[in-house]
Amino acid sequence: MPRKTKEQKRIDTAVSLAFSRHGERAEINIFDIGKILDAGRVAGEQGGDIDQAVKDAIARFRKN
């Protein structure tokens, strides 16, 4: 596996922080956590708002 660039590391850190902030008490199926992180990662790669992408994904996959 190739090494991560500084930009990829920055995006991964931002996604992890956003998930920690917004998904801390949310009930989410464990299989959907990867999908939430991927949504944030894609938003970061496209120059979008990582925080908002993670919040939207959590809302979509949250158990009721």
Answer left, alpha or beta for residue 63, where phi above 0 means left and psi between -120 and 50 means alpha: beta
Q: What is the pLDDT of residue 1?
A: 78
Q: Where do runs of H (alpha helix) occur along 2-61?
A: 6-22, 33-45, 50-61
Q: What is the pLDDT of residues 16-26, one digit of tens each?
A: 999 999 998 99
Q: Which residues of the chain carry a pLDDT beneath 70?
A: none
Q: What is the pLDDT of residue 63?
A: 87
CB of 13 within 8 A of CB of 21?
A: no
Cα(41)–Cα(50) distance, integer angstroms: 7
Pick the closest to residue 55 from 13, 20, 8 (CA basis).
20
